[in-house]
Amino acid sequence: MSTNLLAKRYAKGLLEAGKEENVLEEIYNGIKLIAEKLTSDVINFLSAPPVPLNEKFEIINTFAQNLNLHKFLTRTLLILAEKGRAKLIPQICSSFVEYYMEEKGYIPVEVKVARELKEEEINLIRKGMEEFTKKNVFLNISIDPEIIGGVIIKIGDMVIDNSILRRLEDIKFSLL
C-alpha cells in the first residue's frame, strides 16, 4: 500500500473518530500543533529502528502532554511509532486538514507562487477562487522560486498555470 494512501487512511480515521466523539475541533487544533511543532529530527528519531520503543513512547507522551493533545492523537502517534510509520506524520497532518476543510464545506485550492505573499494578495486570491468555484476555499500556499513569477492554481484535477516559467516555455515552443 502506498504511503500516501496509508496516511489518508489514518487521517480519515482521526476525522471519523473526532466526529463520532464530538471532538473534531480539538483534533484539528492538535493536528495543526503537531504539524507546526514536530520537527523532522524528532520524526527521524521516532522512525529509527535501533531506538527502543519505550524511548519513543516517552518522547511522544512528553510531547503530547506538553501540547495538551487529545488522546486520539497521542494514541495515533504511539501506533505510528510502534509500527515504524512515524515518517507518515506530515502526510497524515496535511490529509487530515484537507478532510477537515471538506467536512466544514471548504474546498482545498493549491496555490504555488514564486515568493511570499502579502495578506492582501492572499485575500485577493481567496476571493477570486471563491467567486470562481462558488464555494468557500481553503488555500494551501507553497513557494517555488523556479516558477519565476505569477501563480499556479490547482483545484481538484484542474490546473491554472499563469506562471512566468509557463509563459517562457510557451514562447520557446512557438519559436521552434
Is the CB of residue 100 less than 8 Å from the CB of residue 15? yes
Query: How far is residue 12's CA from residue 14's CA, in Å, rounded to a whole number?
Result: 5
Is the CB of residue 26 less than 8 Å from the CB of residue 19? no
Q: Which pLDDT belongs to residue 96? A: 95
Q: Which pLDDT belongs to residue 93? A: 96
Report the helix count and the strand count for the chain, using DSSP H and E. Answer: 8, 4
Q: Which pLDDT belongs to residue 1? A: 66
Is the CB of residue 60 less than 8 Å from the CB of residue 30? no
Q: Which pLDDT belongs to residue 156? A: 83
pTM: 0.73
pLDDT digits (tens, 9 = 90+) for 82-122: 999 999 999 999 999 989 988 998 988 999 999 999 999 99
Q: Which pLDDT belongs to residue 98? A: 87
* Residue ranges of domains in the chain, CATH in brackets: 3-101 (1.10.520.20), 106-175 (no CATH)
**pLDDT lower than 50: segments of the chain:** none
